[in-house]
Amino acid sequence: MKYIIGIGGVTNGGKTTLTNRLIKSLPNCCVVHQDDFFKPQDQIEVGEDGFRQWDVITSLDMEAMVNTIKGWAENPVKFARSHGVAVSPATEASDPEKEIHVLIVEGFLLYNYKPLLEVYDKCYYIAIPYDECKKRRSTRNYTVPDPPGLFDGHVWPMHLKYRMEMEKSRMAIEYLDGLKSRDDIYNQVHEDIQNTLLNRL
């Protein structure tokens, strides 16, 4: 059984923290990070707002991301092994159909690209308010540091634009309160996934 989970949300909302904990606790679990699909810096346009457009969907090679997810769907065992994920061996008696393989897709624009919308079995979205997001963002060290004014001039406006777009699509997304403790968020999601997996077996 193959199961694909989307963990989306605002920048610095806690997506990667949650994902890293889930990887350790879910069976045969691989992950695809959207951040791995950013185009090279010289291909990122400078917008009318004066900033390089890192927070828009065109800054990402979404086609490559979709192909990576398809690669997992075609052969989760091969994908896992090529990414250094140990796959629990199937016993002779076990039914391969009952073997669970989980893929977590993690990123800030997961629910705004049509070809991806069909792949998820479960969608989560971590939300935090503006003040908290700005505070967290300012304490992070990025390879390319944020220029002054980037958060208010580009990051947050793009977040609001894409969030509105996502909400209009009426996808079945479960919203998580990013102000809750990391443990609370993890427990809520882990329990939810475990119940779903049990019901599908």
**Among 104, 92, 109, 99, residue whose Cα is nearest residue 24:** 104
The verdict on whether 121 is a catalytic residue reads no
Here the tokens at position 185 are 């968020």
Check: CB of residue 178 under 8 Å from CB of residue 14: yes
Check: CB of residue 51 under 8 Å from CB of residue 175: no
Helix 15-25 and helix 182-200: axis angle, to 10°? 50
Instruction: Give the other-Cβ count within 10 Å of 189's Cβ.
Output: 21
Please list the residues that pair with 124 across neighbouring strands: 7, 174
Burial of 199 per CB tally in 10 Å (0-12, 13-18, 19+): exposed
Here the tokens at position 72 are 């997992």
Rounded CA gap, 162 and 182, in Å? Answer: 25
Here the tokens at position 110 are 């997961």
Of 35, 152, 177, 184, which one is the catalytic site residue? 35
Rounded CA gap, 154 and 170, in Å? Answer: 25
Q: What is the set of active-site residues? A: 35
